[in-house]
């Protein structure tokens, strides 16, 4: 079922934006859908009708028809064996020809709807251009960028150099290469460390319209790469509702309490999410946020009083078109995407799957 209300904004510096928001609740048909966490292991298929969501309760993928607003089917997964995809799934990507890419801890896989493994990606067996082992650990996140030649990109953290890298892996050639990804050293400026641990900015990786998009949470810059891993351009813009980037901490290496305090200061300024592409209106949506914490000692973990969520809309060339605060959103625990020209935000409604749909 769904219900809606209309919200009109006022003109701000020449930018006028209004929206209507619908609340869509999914009929689970007594299926226990996995709505815990951030629901990041999920994706919308190419035709924009079905939403696929990994279910850790029984190691499967659930299909939800968004036009009918109901659960339609589950696809069991094998953890081991010839069609094994690993014990845990951390990311899901819908590909062409009804294929699904599943990001696992060590070896990621592409499967068809019958659960048969079509292709596997093993970063640990790949070599670099000198014939040496390419990486010692698999990437934190991955996206398939070419299903004909089976090319995948992934991000990982270089702790020694306090930075991140973008890896490109060609499965057929078993060849990998690393690419510099941070403009103006902005990633290193937020790489917090404390004894025996570290807290780097979270890196977002996505693939739309023949581009790969790389960004991180404390700066609004977006790096665009082609599927071969070549940098196309770096997007930077001047938002009015948030800073363009958080002020970098003066001290990056300190005690756990000091790092916790610096992290809180960053999130009070701004935290950017990844951009998503709308095929219908040919524009990008991007959410960002500011956290307001309760008062208390600076060295303690303080509860969150309020989270302000903002939407930025861009044209196809990444020119900022409009901004607005979405006051219906009160949490950062969401997955969002564009469907039918609207922004869909996936949320947990009292342990039931639902969406807030913003029509701008």
Residue 299 — pLDDT band, cuts 50, 70, 90?
low
Q: What is the pLDDT of residue 126?
A: 87
pLDDT in tens, 16-46: 478 999 999 999 999 999 998 778 899 999 8
Residues linked to residue 65 through DSSP beta bridges, in sequence order? 50, 70
Q: What is the pLDDT of residue 157?
A: 85
Q: Does domain 126-327 bear CATH number 2.50.20?
A: no
Residue 173 — pLDDT band, cuts 50, 70, 90?
confident
140: exposed, middle or buried (Cβ count in 10 Å: 0-12, 13-18, 19+): middle
pLDDT in tens, 72-112: 999 999 999 999 999 999 999 999 999 999 999 889 999 99
For the chain, the average pLDDT equals 90
Q: Give the span between the Cα atoms of 201 and 271, in whole angstroms.
A: 10
Q: Give the span between the Cα atoms of 263 and 260, in whole angstroms.
A: 5
**Region(s) of the chain under CATH 2.40.128:** 126-327
pLDDT in tens, 45-82: 989 999 999 999 999 999 999 999 999 999 999 999 99
User: What's the pTM?
Assistant: 0.92
Strands 50-55 and 42-44: antiparallel
């Amino acid at each position: 079922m769904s219900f809606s209300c209309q919200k009109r904004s006022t003109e701000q510096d020449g930018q006028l934006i209004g929206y209507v928001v619908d609340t869509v609740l999914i009929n689970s048909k007594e299926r226990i859908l996995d709505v815990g966490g951030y629901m990041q292991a999920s994706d919308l298929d190419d035709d924009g009708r079905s939403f696929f969501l990994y279910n850790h309760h029984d190691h499967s993928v659930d299909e939800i028809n968004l036009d009918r607003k109901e659960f339609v089917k589950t696809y069991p997964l094998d953890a081991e064996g010839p069609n094994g995809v690993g014990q845990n799934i951390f990311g899901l990507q819908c590909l062409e020809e009804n294929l699904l890419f599943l990001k696992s801890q060590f070896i990621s896989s592409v499967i068809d709807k019958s659960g048969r493994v079509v292709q596997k990606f093993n970063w640990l067996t790949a070599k670099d251009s000198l014939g040496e082992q390419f990486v010692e650990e698999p990437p934190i996140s991955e996206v398939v960028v070419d299903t004909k030649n089976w090319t995948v990109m992934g991000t990982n953290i270089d702790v020694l150099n306090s930075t991140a890298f973008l890896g490109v892996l060609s499965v057929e050639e078993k060849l990998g290469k690393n690419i510099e990804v941070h403009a103006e050293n902005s990633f290193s400026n937020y790489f917090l460390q404390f004894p025996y641990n570290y807290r780097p900015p979270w890196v977002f990786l996505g693939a739309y319209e023949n581009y790969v998009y790389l960004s991180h949470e404390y700066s609004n810059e977006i790096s665009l790469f082609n599927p071969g891993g070549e940098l196309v351009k770096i997007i930077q813009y001047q938002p009015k509702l948030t800073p363009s980037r958080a002020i970098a901490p003066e001290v990056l290496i300190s005690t756990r309490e000091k790092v916790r305090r610096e992290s809180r200061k960053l999130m009070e300024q701004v935290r950017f999410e990844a951009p998503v592409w709308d095929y219908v209106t040919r524009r990008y949506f991007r959410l960002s946020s500011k956290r307001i914490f309760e008062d208390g000692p600076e060295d303690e973990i303080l509860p969150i009083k309020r989270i302000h969520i903002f939407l930025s809309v861009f044209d196809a060339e990444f020119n900022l078109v409009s901004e607005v605060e979405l006051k219906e959103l009160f949490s950062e625990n969401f997955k969002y995407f564009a469907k039918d020209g609207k922004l869909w935000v996936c949320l947990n409604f009292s342990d039931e799957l639902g969406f807030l749909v913003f029509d701008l």
